[in-house]
Chain A
Amino acid sequence: MDRVRRFKLLLWSICGLAFAVAFRRFLLGLGSSTNLNDGTPWGLWVGFDVMGGVALAAGGFVITATVYILKKEEFHPIVRPAVLTAFLGYAAVAVGLLADLGLPWHIWHPTIYWQHHSALFEVAWCVMLYLTVLALEFLPVPLESFPRLGKIRNFLVKNRLILVILGIMLSTLHQSSLGTLFLIMPYRLHALWYTPILPLLFFISAISLGLMMVSMESLITSYLYRREPETHLLTKLCKVAAWVLGGYLIVRILDLLVRGEYLAIFENSWQSWWFIIEILISAIIPIVLFTSKLTRGKLGWITLGVVSGVSGFVLNRLNVGGIAMAGTTDSFYFPAWTEFAISAGVVSGAALVFLFAIEHFNVWEHPPRDEEDEKPYTLPRFAPVGTIWLGDPHTAGMKRNSMAFVVAAAFGFSLLPFSSLESKGLIKTPANSARGKDIMQIDANRDGFFVTFDHKKHENSLGQTQSCAVCHHAKLPADEQTSCAACHQDVYLVTCIFDHEKHKTWLGGNQSCTQCHPAGQNRSVDTAVECNHCHNAEDASLVLAVQESPIRMDQLNMAGSYVDAMHGLCVTCHKEIAERIYRPLHGTCTTCHPFVAEESKYEWDKLTQTTASPRWVISTPLLQENIDVEKLKESVAAQ
């Protein structure tokens, strides 16, 4: 049991990490915990948890069909593990989907809102029904431990054939329908994967994957519980899998040939290499290993083939679900570690339930024995730290595992930033100062599109050297002209420009608190004195805002975004003047943004030499509806 114990400890730790991530995901939304974006709305959780999960759980219907329909009784020992794996696989899909759906509390909606043109609607129904069927198929096993419910068990066993056939029918549908999902995106999916027979490919690969997954599950549990692996059964399973894989490979290649897209394999692109890797590890390596005389029937080679095949088909689902779309959308996506954590957590949870079922019910003929559980009562043990008694030795495993869970969850919480800037996906865009002197380029985010601002002209028309204060409202201490970007530090976000640390140093370190925070009161921004307590006319060196400036002295701690500041300053004045001089064009967007940026970028030198006014793109004057013509006439007359 030592291997199982260590393995469980690992699984519990992963679950703990996933718990922390899930906490954040449900509290703050998808944007905070994933790298999904408007260009790539489906990511790892759909590609791996849902598409991979359903495909990996295909072993259930394949093995039940083999045993109960085709009557291959020699596979009977692996029916129960296979059904259990399938059931847990589908349950994991459902749980993973809860994380992925934007509104998980609406997950039941397909049951009442029907939309039968949607492939996803069909998948949803099939998965729901099949999960029920699998539960009923597996229920007789745990019911063995409850003799009082024998009637239910007998009923289920008697009607097992119906359940098995129903399971096969449903599996056929949704395994293929997962492929149908992608038929509607011919522009997204690369030609190597997009084919009208995608549903068929998904179905065939699900059969072979089911066979290999059952083998893999058997190999892993044999290793964990130190049992003799059922090599003869595995050899047979793999032989069948090789045949199915062969069929899959032939259909896949024929399809490429018929569609004439086979040349794309050799185009040496991102997609072509993924395709080659996928085909190699999903089909070719397993086929060779399962059929070659040298390797077949040997446990090590079987393991290698199974691992290669299973990961190959998971890669296939990931390719279809996202990797093969990378070139066709203008966005980049690589899963965040939090996405990996949730996926791994869901798988670990399913694995833990699997191990629990194996140890407590007759999934195998004889459940494995844990010597730790069978110890007779001993004197109570104390926890090594703090020596507190936490229960009897029966709970030793629980104590260990729950501790791993708690520590991993706490570690997860420590790694996850909970700041609003990150969870809201905001990107900082540092504002840059305008360039130039008499004629300036205002291009705060340096994207190449700028507003041409004739500083000289504004200076002249507003009153020469007396006019600075009209626009420049603030200055740093001992500074003549402070650039706008010095305070309006972000192009789109509000910046806090009060530097607590610096003020503390200036005012005398530890002794200085009471200079701003009144003694005896709780200290915060709200209770602190206003800026103009110090920054006032009494000490000229501390004055921050020029006289007649629109900013209030008590508002010196926050600076609006660069864009808002500029628009606030320019547009207000321009609109006012437009009204006064009866030139509506003077106050429109195009006054400053003439949309000749593309050219002006290259003709900057020319512009500065000629000091030409910005060129307009619109030639006919447009009367703005919000300007009152009568009022305009009055103002003109008054002048």
Chain B
Amino acid sequence: MLEFWLELAKGPIFRFSFALCVLGLARIVMLSAWGAAKAYYAAGDKELPYSLIWRTTIHWLFPIRMGLRNRPFFSIVSILFHIGLIIVPIFLFAHIQLWYQGAGLWWPAIPRHLAEFLTVTTILSAILLFLARVWSSASRHISRGQEFMWPLLLIIPFLSGFFCSHPAWSPLSYNAMLLIHILSGNFILLLIPLTKISHCILTPFSQFISELGWHFPKNSAKDVEITLGKQGQPI
């Protein structure tokens, strides 16, 4: 029975989630590009310092230096978290084996010890990030439900994956742990294009748009009010 569910999770359910993730992200990019183009053509004032905006956008896409200066601990944890999050699922040997068996695709893997180290750092940094979010009242106030949920949700596949590679320490049988691992991974793939995790592909867009906002001409807020037909209303 467990084997049947494993096959289902590795096969159809994975294909569904993966396809939804890739196509969903492509959809979001296209919609954003379309919306941006429409806004550009609708805009009254196109005289903006675009080269400067581009430069600052690209600059802020790699916020390591600035982040290290302002909140060093948080930045380091966050960077560690992201490194593990991206590298481990893509370059884990076992995952590449599955791609090779299923689709004949192959790429270099990271060594097992590195993968395990990164898994542990990811789990730990996820816990720290969650605690930081709960601890700091400023971040608690600007957080939605999903912001609290995500670090915890991301721990599940990493922890279960860790137990899958060390079944001797696992509280459950190997197959049960594997099923949890695959299903939670699929669930995350499914949620990527629907939630804030879409920032993995939307960051350049949102960064660009917020940079644009910094360089709006004076009094443009009034124009926005007029355009929206909401003069004198509280925002």
Q: Mark B102-114, 1 if CB is under 8 A from A, else 0.
A: 1100000101110
- Is there a chain B Cβ closer than 8 Å to A522's Cβ? yes
Chain B residues near A377: list those with CB within 8 A.
Answer: 227-229
Is the beta-carbon distance between A522 and B31 smaller than 8 angstroms?
no
Contact pick for A418, options B17, B97, B102, CB 8 Å: B102
Q: Distance (Å) between the CB of A337 and the closest chain B CB?
A: 15
- Is there a chain A Cβ closer than 8 Å to B54's Cβ? no
Cβ-closest chain B residue relative to A383: B194
Contact pick for B174, options A390, A399, A402, A504, CB 8 Å: A504
Chain B residues near A383: list those with CB within 8 A.
Answer: 194
Bound complex: CA A387 to CA B195 (Å) = 8
- Is there a chain A Cβ closer than 8 Å to B71's Cβ? no
Given A386-B146, A409-B23, A501-B3, A395:B35 Cβ within 8 A: yes
- Is there a chain A Cβ closer than 8 Å to B196's Cβ? yes
Chain A residues near B167: list those with CB within 8 A.
Answer: 509-511, 513
Is the beta-carbon distance between B228 and A418 smaller than 8 angstroms?
no
Is the beta-carbon distance between B20 and A407 smaller than 8 angstroms?
yes
Chain B residues near A411: list those with CB within 8 A.
Answer: 16
The total of interchain contacts (Cβ-Cβ below 8 angstroms) comes to 105
Chain B residues near A415: list those with CB within 8 A.
Answer: 12
- Is there a chain A Cβ closer than 8 Å to B208's Cβ? no
Is the beta-carbon distance between A388 and B198 smaller than 8 angstroms?
yes
Contact pick for A385, options B11, B34, B170, B194, CB 8 Å: B194
- Is there a chain B Cβ closer than 8 Å to A609's Cβ? no
Q: Mark A370-409, 1 if CB is under 8 A from B, else 0.
A: 0000001111000101111011101100110011011101
Cβ-closest chain B residue relative to A23: B19
Is the beta-carbon distance between A379 and B228 smaller than 8 angstroms?
yes
Q: Mark A63-75, 1 if CB is under 8 A from B, else 0.
A: 0000000000000
Bound complex: CA A386 to CA B19 (Å) = 20
Cβ-closest chain B residue relative to A504: B174
- Is there a chain A Cβ closer than 8 Å to B128's Cβ? no
Chain B residues near A416: list those with CB within 8 A.
Answer: 15
Residues 406-438 of A contacting B (Cβ, < 8 Å): 406-407, 409-419
Chain B residues near A418: list those with CB within 8 A.
Answer: 15, 102-103
Is the beta-carbon distance between B13 and A414 smaller than 8 angstroms?
yes
Is the beta-carbon distance between A520 and B31 smaller than 8 angstroms?
no
Residues 253-302 of A contacting B (Cβ, < 8 Å): none
Residues 1-16 of B contacting A (Cβ, < 8 Å): 3, 11-13, 15-16
Chain A residues near B16: list those with CB within 8 A.
Answer: 410-411, 413-414
Q: Distance (Å) between the CB of A18 and the closest chain B CB?
A: 14
Contact pick for A403, options B18, B27, B38, B144, CB 8 Å: B27
Given A406-B27, A522-B109, A522-B111, A394:B32 Cβ within 8 A: no
Cβ-closest chain A residue relative to B20: A410
Q: Distance (Å) between the CB of B208 and the closest chain A CB?
A: 14
Q: How many residues of B contact A (CB 8 A)?
A: 47
Given A388-B196, A522-B111, A510:B12 Cβ within 8 A: no
Of the candidates A417, A504, A510, the one having the most CB atoms from chain B within 10 angstroms of its own CB is A510
- Is there a chain B Cβ closer than 8 Å to A115's Cβ? no
- Is there a chain A Cβ closer than 8 Å to B94's Cβ? yes
Cβ-closest chain B residue relative to A384: B194
Chain A residues near B109: list those with CB within 8 A.
Answer: 522
Bound complex: CA A418 to CA B104 (Å) = 11
Q: Distance (Å) between the CB of B86 and the closest chain A CB?
A: 19
Contact pick for A402, options B15, B27, B227, B230, CB 8 Å: B27
Cβ-closest chain B residue relative to A399: B31
Is the beta-carbon distance between A392 and B35 smaller than 8 angstroms?
yes
Cβ-closest chain A residue relative to B102: A418
Is the beta-carbon distance between A511 and B20 smaller than 8 angstroms?
no
Contact pick for A513, options B32, B168, B228, CB 8 Å: B168
Is the beta-carbon distance between B23 and A406 smaller than 8 angstroms?
yes
Q: How many residues of A contact B (CB 8 A)?
A: 44
Bound complex: CA A524 to CA B93 (Å) = 9
Q: Mark B157-180, 1 if CB is under 8 A from A, else 0.
A: 000000001011010011000000
Bound complex: CA A398 to CA B28 (Å) = 11
Bound complex: CA A501 to CA B2 (Å) = 12
Q: Distance (Å) between the CB of B53 and the closest chain A CB?
A: 20
- Is there a chain B Cβ closer than 8 Å to A227's Cβ? no
Is the beta-carbon distance between A394 and B15 smaller than 8 angstroms?
no
- Is there a chain A Cβ closer than 8 Å to B30's Cβ? yes
Bound complex: CA A510 to CA B230 (Å) = 65
Chain B residues near A406: list those with CB within 8 A.
Answer: 20, 23-24, 27, 193
Given A392-B35, A411-B16, A402:B30 Cβ within 8 A: yes
- Is there a chain A Cβ closer than 8 Å to B39's Cβ? yes
Is the beta-carbon distance between B102 and A390 smaller than 8 angstroms?
no
Q: Mark A464-486, 1 if CB is under 8 A from B, else 0.
A: 00000000000000000000000
Is the beta-carbon distance between A391 and B34 smaller than 8 angstroms?
yes
Contact pick for A522, options B28, B35, B94, B170, CB 8 Å: B94
Chain B residues near A388: list those with CB within 8 A.
Answer: 195-196, 198
Is the beta-carbon distance between A392 and B38 smaller than 8 angstroms?
yes
Q: Distance (Å) between the CB of B214 and the closest chain A CB?
A: 18
Bound complex: CA A386 to CA B34 (Å) = 21
Chain B residues near A20: list those with CB within 8 A.
Answer: 19
Residues 188-218 of B contacting A (Cβ, < 8 Å): 193-196, 198
Chain B residues near A620: list those with CB within 8 A.
Answer: none
- Is there a chain B Cβ closer than 8 Å to A109's Cβ? no
Chain A residues near B230: list those with CB within 8 A.
Answer: 379
- Is there a chain B Cβ closer than 8 Å to A626's Cβ? no
Contact pick for A520, options B11, B12, B112, CB 8 Å: B112
A sample of 21 inter-chain contacts (CB < 8 A) reads A377-B228, A385-B195, A387-B144, A388-B196, A388-B198, A390-B32, A391-B34, A394-B38, A402-B30, A406-B20, A406-B23, A410-B16, A410-B17, A414-B16, A415-B12, A418-B15, A510-B173, A511-B167, A520-B113, A522-B93, A522-B109
Chain B residues with CB under 8 Å of chain A are 3, 11-13, 15-20, 23-24, 27-28, 30-32, 34-35, 38-39, 93-94, 97, 102-103, 109, 111-113, 144, 146, 165, 167-168, 170, 173-174, 193-196, 198, 227-230
Chain A residues with CB under 8 Å of chain B are 20, 376-379, 383, 385-388, 390-392, 394-395, 398-399, 402-403, 405-407, 409-419, 501, 504, 509-511, 513, 520-524
